[in-house]
Amino acid sequence: MTGKITIKEIAKHANVGTTTVSRVLNNHPYVSDEKRRRVEQAIAALDYHPSQTARHLRGSPSGLLGFLTDDVATTPYAVDIIRGAQDVAWAHNMVLLVADSGGNARFAEAAVNVFRERAVEGIVYAAMYHRPVDLPPGLEGLPTVLANCFLENRKAPSVVPDEFYGGYQATAAAIAAGHQRVGFINLWEEDPKIAPFPAIHGRLRGYRQALEDHGIAYDETLVRYSIQTPQENYRHTSELMTLNDPPSALFCGNDKVAMNCYSALAALGLAVPEDVAVIGFDNIAHIAGGLLPALTTMQLPHYEMGRWAVQYLMGNRGKDLAPVQVALPCPLVRRESI
Amino acid sequence: MTGKITIKEIAKHANVGTTTVSRVLNNHPYVSDEKRRRVEQAIAALDYHPSQTARHLRGSPSGLLGFLTDDVATTPYAVDIIRGAQDVAWAHNMVLLVADSGGNARFAEAAVNVFRERAVEGIVYAAMYHRPVDLPPGLEGLPTVLANCFLENRKAPSVVPDEFYGGYQATAAAIAAGHQRVGFINLWEEDPKIAPFPAIHGRLRGYRQALEDHGIAYDETLVRYSIQTPQENYRHTSELMTLNDPPSALFCGNDKVAMNCYSALAALGLAVPEDVAVIGFDNIAHIAGGLLPALTTMQLPHYEMGRWAVQYLMGNRGKDLAPVQVALPCPLVRRESI
């Protein structure tokens, strides 16, 4: 059934020439992103799969990619990185071998061994929150792209969320809604090994820049750092709202902070968004969509990072990977809390 | 490095004989579950991997298993099914090919084709909430185990949560804490194609049985069905608590219902658990651990279902799979809300 689909049909469906389809299938670099996406979508829509035999004739060794994560389980919404990676792999008739090390270094090494045994053609290494990482040993010579993480020495390509613009846009959205005093309950974490520093520092810089660009003075009494227990999130909200000159909008470091912020505001008799606007971060669907009123928040680009990582691997097959560092936007998801 | 580990060392680590290790490695049926687990743990702890060559000499065709899900993305906490499956696959030196169809039938068929091209030795088909499913075409002759779902005709082995005992234990926990009037905000869903019927009906039966076993009359005014919007969850809570004879405990169909239940109780000036006890279902860590007070809830056995499915495949290699139907317990996770 799928064998009957021709390059011509894909070209027609994608509204491009057959040469373009051929180039995408052979990972030729001279294809625009827009056309490559249309062809990938057509390939997915038509269930086209070049036969394994044909692949081997073209010299494609295994058709496998390794996907190694540190810990999907503790931040399950980040599985969208896997979905994004899978969708692009699929369009290229590549199969993703997924291994979740659970943060265990020995497991990660063992996974790398399996990937090598199976002759994967490339690796996506994904962290479940944005941070610097050390790669497990054994990846030398294997094309590797980092998603939601990066090497301190920047020697491998990586794709991460643009924390700065996320913080900027959240703050700017509050200002655009008429708020001049915008509180910020930023994240904090005692353990430097797991502290989400790029998020903490990037979003704070964005917050400050947005204030500056709108002529609002930075007031450090409005900025809090929460170690992210429900009790601390609640306490910071209560303390901010009982200042002599309290904020009228609260930008929360993540949706869980916002959830506790809602409780603290309710206890003070303050309504969202009438009395206080609230903006979250992460867009965890269960929380953001489940709160009353539904939470306006910033989308972490998990799906897009997964896509980008595999696209970069596929677009550079057989070549050394240039260590580009890409930051993808965190768009505002507007619901009802501002 | 891993090549130096011998069966003798594994046996020593697991405190079993070398014959037992050998049997586990060759998926021999005459090994107790307890010993099999100890050997699997030792294999994982020691990073033991029999070489591909040795595997092929033993006639092991591909060392691959296919894992097909309908939609991880909308219920991300269910990725624990993948983790459980992966951990067992890993201990058997099998690699899991994970494909998420996103609920798209054409994609699911295409995934089955890829699994066949790669000569997977078995398939786990997992649904992201417990329900009857139709398998995609093309699986004929491939050993297939269903996780978190089942066939109406029960012709394939399946492992699901024990909804009845989940409902029973939640209700019994409330009664044990001294509550005689236990409200139940059960789930509902208009669309019969996606309605979580086993959860709805199984938990209701468990709720009724627990009341009966404790000599408490069933009162239908205390049972509500929520279509699971935040507004409806809130409304049902408010209505139950303003009855002439309101419940003193509320069993919620899932943690999201409980989250909105907390808001409605706060608006009525009722404290959890002093005025009203609340019990959830699902144990979504972000929500249950993030609420104030932290939510006592029932754990869906996602990880255990994934483990069971692959263990059943591995324990029956080369044999026809008996279509056993297994229901795993949903244990109570005690926090601070009862």
Question: Which residue in B79, B92, B227 has the most chain A C-beta atoms within 10 A of its own C-beta, making it the best mutation to test that interface?
Answer: B79
pLDDT at B91 over 70: yes
pLDDT at A246: 98
**Same structural domain, B128 and B102:** yes
**Same structural domain, A84 and A189:** no
CATH of the domain at A43: 3.40.50.2300
**Same structural domain, B13 and B73:** yes
Question: Which residue in A1, A98, A228 has the most chain B C-beta atoms within 10 A of its own C-beta, making it the best mutation to test that interface?
Answer: A98
Residue of chain B whose Cα is closest to the Cα of A74: B285
Distance of CA B219 to the CA centre of its chain: 30
Span A84-98, average pLDDT: 87
SS3 readout for chain B: CHHHCCHHHHHHHHCCCHHHHHHHHCCCCCCCHHHHHHHHHHHHHCCCCCCHHHHHHCCCCCCEEEEEECCCCCCHHHHHHHHHHHHHHHHCCCEEEEEECCCCHHHHHHHHHHHHHCCCCCEEEEEEEEEECCCCCCCCCCCEEEEEEECCCCCCCEEEECHHHHHHHHHHHHHHCCCCCEEEEEECCCCCCCCCHHHHHHHHHHHHHHHHHCCCCCCHHHEEEECCCHHHHHHHHHHHHCCCCCCCEEEECCHHHHHHHHHHHHHCCCCCCCCCEEECCECCHHHHCCCCCCCEEEECCHHHHHHHHHHHHHHCCCCCCCCCEEEECCCEECCCCC
Residue B336 lies in a domain: no
Q: How confident is the model at residue B190 (pLDDT cuts 50, 70, 90)?
A: confident
Cβ <8 Å between B72 and A79:
yes
Span B207-225, average pLDDT: 98
CA distances from A308 to A154, A157, A320, B72 (A): 17, 11, 17, 20
pLDDT at B73 over 50: no
Residue B292: phi and psi, rounded to 5, are -120, 110
From B77, B256, B292, residue closest to A260, measured CB to CB: B292
Question: Which residue in A43, A117, A263, A270 has the most chain B C-beta atoms within 10 A of its own C-beta, making it the best mutation to test that interface?
Answer: A117
For chain A, percent of residues with pLDDT exceeding 70: 89
Cβ <8 Å between A74 and B285:
yes
B105 vs A60, which has greater pLDDT?
Answer: B105
**Same structural domain, A153 and A198:** no
Preceding peptide of A293 cis, ω within 30°: yes
pLDDT at B29: 52
Half-sphere exposure of A126 (CA within 13 A, CB side): 33
Cα(A98)–Cα(A29) distance, integer angstroms: 27
Residue whose structure tokens are 């903006």: A279
pLDDT at B1: 36
pLDDT at B129: 86
pLDDT at B57: 36
pLDDT at A321 over 80: yes
Which residues in chain A belong to E strands, given as ranges? Answer: 64-69, 95-100, 123-132, 144-150, 158-161, 182-187, 223-226, 249-252, 277-279, 297-298, 325-328, 332-333
The amino acid occupying position B85 is A
Strand partners, B325: B158
pLDDT at A333: 98
Residues 269..288 of A with a Cβ closer than 8 Å to B: which?
284-287
Question: Which residue in A292, A299, A303 has the most chain B C-beta atoms within 10 A of its own C-beta, making it the best mutation to test that interface?
Answer: A292
**Same structural domain, A55 and A109:** yes
Residue A2: phi and psi, rounded to 5, are -70, -25
B260 touches chain A (CB under 8 A): yes
Q: How confident is the model at residue B59 (pLDDT cuts 50, 70, 90)?
A: very low
Q: How confident is the model at residue B121 (pLDDT cuts 50, 70, 90)?
A: very high
Distance of CA A338 to the CA centre of its chain: 24
pLDDT at B260 over 90: yes
Residue B338 lies in a domain: no
pLDDT at A88 over 90: yes
B113 touches chain A (CB under 8 A): yes
pLDDT at B187 over 80: yes
Residue A338 lies in a domain: no
Residue A88: phi and psi, rounded to 5, are -75, -40
Residues 196..255 of B with a Cβ closer than 8 Å to A: which?
230-231, 234
Residue A336 lies in a domain: no
Closest CA to A22 of A31, A2, A64: A31
pLDDT at B54 over 70: no
Shortest distance between the Cα of B216 and any Cα of chain A, in A, equals: 33
ipTM over 0.90: no
Residue A337 lies in a domain: no
Residue A114 lies in a domain: yes
CA distances from A44 to A39, A41, A47, A112 (A): 9, 5, 5, 29
pLDDT at B135: 93
pLDDT at B329 over 70: yes
| Model pTM score | 0.79
Angle at A148 between CA A116 and CA A290, to 5 degrees: 125
Report pLDDT digits (tens) over A309-320.
999 999 999 889
* Residues of chain B neighbouring A77 (CB-CB closer than 8 A): 76
pLDDT at B213: 98
Of A25-34, A79-88, A100-109, A216-225, where does mean pLDDT reach its minimum? Answer: A25-34
Give the best-scoring range by mean pLDDT among A125-139, B4-18, B55-69, B159-173: B159-173
Cα(B72)–Cα(B134) distance, integer angstroms: 17
**Same structural domain, A41 and A83:** yes
Q: Encoding tokens for residue B331?
A: 């244990």
From A49, A77, A256, residue closest to B110, measured CB to CB: A49
Cβ <8 Å between A290 and B262:
no
Cβ-contact B26, B60 below 8 angstroms: no
Q: Encoding tokens for residue A180?
A: 């001049």
Cβ-contact A297, A335 below 8 angstroms: yes
Cα(B4)–Cα(A338) distance, integer angstroms: 61
Length of chain A in terms of residues written: 338
The residue segments making up the domain with residue B147 are 2-161+302-330
**Same structural domain, B47 and B189:** no
**Same structural domain, A190 and A209:** yes
**Same structural domain, A9 and A145:** yes
State how many domains chain A has.
2
Mean pLDDT, chain B, integer: 88
**Same structural domain, B187 and B201:** yes
B163 touches chain A (CB under 8 A): no
* Residues of chain B neighbouring A85 (CB-CB closer than 8 A): none
**Same structural domain, B128 and B29:** yes
pLDDT at B290: 95
Of A59-68, B202-211, B212-221, B251-260, where does mean pLDDT reach its minimum? Answer: A59-68
Q: How confident is the model at residue B27 (pLDDT cuts 50, 70, 90)?
A: low
**Same structural domain, B150 and B197:** no
The distance between the two most distant Cα atoms of chain B, rounded to a whole number of Å, is 74
Report pLDDT digits (tens) over A52-77.
434 433 444 688 899 998 765 456 66
For chain B, percent of residues with pLDDT exceeding 70: 89
Residue B7 lies in a domain: yes
pLDDT at A53: 36
Please state at what angle helix A80-91 crosses helix A302-315, rounded to 10 degrees.
30
Residue B335 lies in a domain: no
Q: How confident is the model at residue A113 (pLDDT cuts 50, 70, 90)?
A: confident
Report pLDDT digits (tens) over A1-38.
344 577 788 888 888 887 787 667 655 556 787 888 88
pLDDT at A75: 60
Span A175-186, average pLDDT: 98
Indicate the DSSP class of residue A186: E
Residue whose structure tokens are 């690699």: B95
Q: What is the rounded end-to-end Cα distance, in angstroms, of chain B?
A: 51
* Residues of chain A neighbouring B114 (CB-CB closer than 8 A): 49, 93, 95
pLDDT at A51 over 80: no
Of A220-234, A249-263, B24-38, where does mean pLDDT reach its minimum? Answer: B24-38
Q: How confident is the model at residue A271 (pLDDT cuts 50, 70, 90)?
A: very high
Q: Encoding tokens for residue A208?
A: 């400050």
pLDDT at A57: 36
